[in-house]
């Protein structure tokens, strides 16, 4: 028997970074297939280009600055995939390319690579694109093959949160958005939106799979989605938003963000209490942006803002070491 | 005499390189980020700043021995804002376009922390000639950095430099508007600082 003298921990789970990341990618595949099915083959090209450029950029940067080469550990592919999932299907191909280069070079490698980035690279890339080319990101929505959320011709913007932002005073449209039919379509993903966000059902399946594998913590998605749902339902009761909480949690990128972006190991807190705070904070900011912000959707910026608060959360909620005595000065 | 000349040259070059106000001391970033959205207004800001910097440094140095220590800050403020007012009126009269582009950030030179920092840490302790070269070095170091930032941000964020189109029509039609926004300014300044550190580390090896 071979004995090895080493410091603890002595019992390892046979998981590694590539294995975790590729599992996350597998968990995204159902939603990906659904988006190819509903938006057509262009969705596939967008994701392939985005992932390819991500790997290539990571490889170039790591070779140039002579760092350990880890471009096939999946993190670059995941960044590319998540970024492409945040784009409407009709964007020109150079947009994901530029966004991915920004995400990898500035948000990830400039801070030291995987494990050192303080914000989620994919979301940083998306924020960069939204700030630079808002037209391309907001006007190129396309309806999936099933048509928009309803066949009402007055709606030119097919993303439900955009419809809500523009028509919140129109009772016919609001009651249509609130109907059970609309909720069902939102849950199944039969409406327009960005590539990966539309099917709550498949995102939920992927998320539950990851939680069951214990690769992500259930606290962040639950507290995030729960906060948005409860707050929006309260605001609905007080008449501040015309649609109910269930519409708000199903519409837009909340499921994608809560299960696959807010749970990023590097940019979320490590303590349980911290994760609750993080999720609730994301939820509150999302609600604020959706109701009072200029943009219809706030998931991206909510997660980015809370990413910046993570070090503070960790410091505030540092667990007490056994028998630690607090010395009053 | 030779030793003194070397000393003076050192005061000047320190301001541009090892004591660069933006890249090393990281002072006055507010006006740097706000004004460097295009190359021309950045250059205007740099020149106006250099003028105020040099004149106030010299005058503060001249009066340093008759200034009571307890009221030195009000004295600095009066001297600095005198030169800022001169710059403000001159620009308003002769270069109204630049003046309107700089807006509030021109009068704000009066409370710029670089000017105050040099007044407190250098001019009030050194002779007028040394203070002149220190002010010149700091001012030119500031101008170089802010002009570089303005040029980079204008090229990437607008596709132009000093109003002339570069990089072609296709780029100018959908430029990286992010670069004109404040986060783009922080990004450019971060990369410039990184480059400066990389160069000076390379020089040491």
pLDDT tens digits along A63-99:
998 888 888 888 999 999 999 998 888 888 899 999 9
pLDDT of residue A149: 47
B70 at interface of A, judged by CB pairs closer than 8 A: no
ipTM for the whole complex: 0.81
Domain-embedded: residue B119:
yes
CA of B37 to nearest chain A CA: how many angstroms apart? Answer: 15
pLDDT of residue A243: 85
Q: For tokens 């005061």, name the residue.
A: B11
pLDDT of residue A104: 93
Domains of chain B: total: 1
pLDDT of residue B168: 74
Is A11 strand, coil or helix? coil
- β-strand partners of B164: B161
What are the C-alpha distances in Å from A43 to residues A109, A134, A221, A245, B107?
27, 20, 26, 30, 53
Q: Tell me: pLDDT of A118 over 50.
A: yes
Q: How many CB atoms lie within 10 A of CB A169?
A: 8
CA of A132 to nearest chain B CA: how many angstroms apart? Answer: 4
Domain-embedded: residue B172:
no
Contact: A131, B187; criterion CB under 8 Å: no
The rounded distance, in Å, linking the Cα atoms of A61 and A112 is 11
The rounded distance, in Å, linking the Cα atoms of B199 and B193 is 10
First vs last C-alpha separation in chain A: 54
Q: What is the pLDDT along chain B (205 residues), one digit of tens a residue?
A: 556 666 778 888 888 888 888 888 888 888 889 888 888 889 999 999 999 999 999 999 999 889 888 998 899 999 999 999 999 999 999 988 888 888 888 888 888 888 888 888 888 888 888 899 999 999 999 999 999 999 999 988 888 887 777 777 777 778 888 888 888 999 999 999 998 888 888 877 6
Q: Tell me: pLDDT of A329 over 70.
A: no
Helix B128-158 with B39-62: angle, nearest 10 deg? 170
Candidates A106, A133, A136; nearest CB to B187: A106
Q: What is the DSSP string of B73-118?
A: HHHHHHHHHHHHHHHHHHHHHH-HHHHHHHGGGTGGGGG-HHHHHH
- The per-residue pLDDT for range A124-154, each reduced to its tens digit, is 999 999 888 887 777 666 666 655 444 443 3
The rounded distance, in Å, linking the Cα atoms of A298 and A257 is 10
Domain-embedded: residue B115:
yes
Is B165 strand, coil or helix? strand
Span A18-32, average pLDDT? 92
The rounded distance, in Å, linking the Cα atoms of B79 and A166 is 55
Mean pLDDT estimate for chain A: 85
CB-defined contacts A:B, below 8 A: 19
Chain A hits for B182, Cβ within 8 Å: none
| Chosen from B173, B176, B190 to mutate, greatest number of chain A CBs within 10 A | B176
pLDDT of residue A262: 92
Domain-embedded: residue B178:
no
Conformation bin of residue B87: beta by default, left when phi > 0, alpha when psi is -120 to 50: alpha
Within 13 Å of residue A67, how many CA atoms lie on the same side as its CB? 14
Q: How many CB atoms lie within 10 A of CB B172?
A: 13
A54 contacts A79 by C-beta, under 8 angstroms? yes
Identify the domain containing residue B67 by its residue range. 13-151
Element (H, E) at B160: strand B160-161
Contact: B177, A98; criterion CB under 8 Å: no
Phi, psi of B19, rounded to the nearest 5 degrees: -120, 25
Q: How confident is the model at residue A195 (pLDDT cuts 50, 70, 90)?
A: confident
Residue B187: closest C-alpha in chain A: A106
pLDDT of residue A326: 65
pLDDT of residue A65: 87
A188 at interface of B, judged by CB pairs closer than 8 A: no
The rounded distance, in Å, linking the Cα atoms of B63 and B71 is 13
Candidates A110, A128, A133; nearest CB to B174: A133
Q: For tokens 């090393």, name the residue.
A: B24
Please give, one letter per residue, the 3-state secondary structure of A86-132.
CCCCCCCCHHHHHHHHHHHHHHHHHHCCCCCCCCCHHHHHHHHHHHH
Helix A219-237 with A272-292: angle, nearest 10 deg? 40
Higher pLDDT, B117 or A9: B117
What are the C-alpha distances in Å from A30 to residues A21, A54, A168?
16, 21, 33
Q: How many CB atoms lie within 10 A of CB A329?
A: 2
User: Percent of chain A beyond pLDDT 90?
Assistant: 43
What are the C-alpha distances in Å from B72 to residues A322, B68, B79, B80, B124?
54, 6, 11, 12, 9
> Which pair of tokens denotes residue A197?
């966000």
Contact: A98, B187; criterion CB under 8 Å: no
Residue A127: closest C-alpha in chain B: B178
* Number of helices and strands in chain A (H, E): 15, 0
A:61-100 residues touching chain B, CB 8 A cutoff: 98
The rounded distance, in Å, linking the Cα atoms of A38 and A25 is 20
Domain-embedded: residue B195:
no
User: Is the previous residue joined to A12 through a cis bond, with omega within 30 degrees of 0?
Assistant: no
A136 at interface of B, judged by CB pairs closer than 8 A: yes
User: Percent of chain A beyond pLDDT 70?
Assistant: 91
A236 contacts A291 by C-beta, under 8 angstroms? no
What are the C-alpha distances in Å from A17 to residues A20, A223, B192?
5, 25, 33
B178 at interface of A, judged by CB pairs closer than 8 A: yes
Residue B188: closest C-alpha in chain A: A106
pLDDT of residue A80: 94
pLDDT of residue A233: 92
The rounded distance, in Å, linking the Cα atoms of B119 and A191 is 64
The rounded distance, in Å, linking the Cα atoms of A79 and A101 is 10
A60 contacts A10 by C-beta, under 8 angstroms? no
Q: What is the DSSP string of A255-311?
A: HHIIIIITT-STTS-SSHHHHHHHHHHHHHHHHHHHHHSSSS--HHHHHHHHHHHHH
Chain B hits for A106, Cβ within 8 Å: 187
B198 at interface of A, judged by CB pairs closer than 8 A: no
Report which DSSP code applies to B161: E
A60 contacts A81 by C-beta, under 8 angstroms? no
Domain-embedded: residue B44:
yes
């Amino acid at each position: 028997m071979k004995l090895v003298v080493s410091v603890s921990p002595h019992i390892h789970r046979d998981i590694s970074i590539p294995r975790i990341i590729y599992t996350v990618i597998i968990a995204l595949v159902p939603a990906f297939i659904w988006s190819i099915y509903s938006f057509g083959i262009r969705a596939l090209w967008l994701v392939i280009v985005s992932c390819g450029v991500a790997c290539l950029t990571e490889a170039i940067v790591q070779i140039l600055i002579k760092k350990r080469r880890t471009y096939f550990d999946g993190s670059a592919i995941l960044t590319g995939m998540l970024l492409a999932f945040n784009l409407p299907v009709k964007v020109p191909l150079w947009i994901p390319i530029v966004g991915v280069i920004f995400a990898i070079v500035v948000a990830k490698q400039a801070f030291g690579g995987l494990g050192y980035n303080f914000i989620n690279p994919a979301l940083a890339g998306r924020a960069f694109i939204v700030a630079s080319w808002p037209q391309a990101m907001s006007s190129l929505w396309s309806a999936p093959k099933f048509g928009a959320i309803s066949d009402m011709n007055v709606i030119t913007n097919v993303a439900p949160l955009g419809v809500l932002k523009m028509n919140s005073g129109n009772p016919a449209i609001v009651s249509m958005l609130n109907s059970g039919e609309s909720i069902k379509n939102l849950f199944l993903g039969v409406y327009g939106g960005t590539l990966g966000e539309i099917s709550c059902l498949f995102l939920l399946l992927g998320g539950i799979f990851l939680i069951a594998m214990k690769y992500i913590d259930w606290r962040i998605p639950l507290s995030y989605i729960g906060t948005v749902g409860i707050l929006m339902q309260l605001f609905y009761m007080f008449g501040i938003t015309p649609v109910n909480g269930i519409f708000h949690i199903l519409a837009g990128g909340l499921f994608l963000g809560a299960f696959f972006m807010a749970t990023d190991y590097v940019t979320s807190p490590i303590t349980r209490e911290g994760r609750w705070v993080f999720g609730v904070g994301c939820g509150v900011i999302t609600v604020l942006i959706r109701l009072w912000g200029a943009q219809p959707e706030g998931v991206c910026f909510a997660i980015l803002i809370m990413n910046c608060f993570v070090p503070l959360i960790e410091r505030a909620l540092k667990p007490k070491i056994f028998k630690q005595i607090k010395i009053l000065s | 005499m030779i030793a003194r000349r070397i000393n003076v040259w050192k005061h000047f070059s320190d301001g541009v390189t090892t004591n660069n106000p933006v890249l090393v001391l990281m002072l006055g970033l507010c006006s740097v980020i706000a004004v460097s959205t295009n190359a021309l207004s950045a250059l205007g800001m740099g020149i106006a700043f250099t003028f105020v910097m040099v004149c106030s440094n010299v005058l503060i140095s001249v009066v340093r021995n008759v200034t009571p220590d307890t009221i030195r800050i009000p004295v600095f403020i009066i001297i600095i804002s005198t030169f800022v007012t001169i710059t403000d009126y001159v620009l308003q009269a002769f270069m109204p376009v630049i003046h309107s582009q700089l807006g509030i950030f021109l009068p704000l030179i009066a409370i710029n922390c670089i000017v105050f920092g040099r007044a407190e840490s250098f001019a009030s302790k050194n002779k007028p000639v040394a203070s002149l070269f220190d002010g010149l070095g700091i001012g030119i170091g500031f101008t170089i950095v802010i002009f570089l930032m303005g040029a980079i941000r204008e090229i990437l964020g607008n596709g132009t430099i000093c109003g002339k189109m570069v990089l072609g029509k296709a780029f100018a039609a959908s430029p990286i508007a992010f670069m004109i926004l404040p986060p783009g300014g922080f990004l450019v300044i971060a990369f410039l600082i990184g480059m400066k550190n990389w160069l000076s580390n390379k020089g040491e090896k």
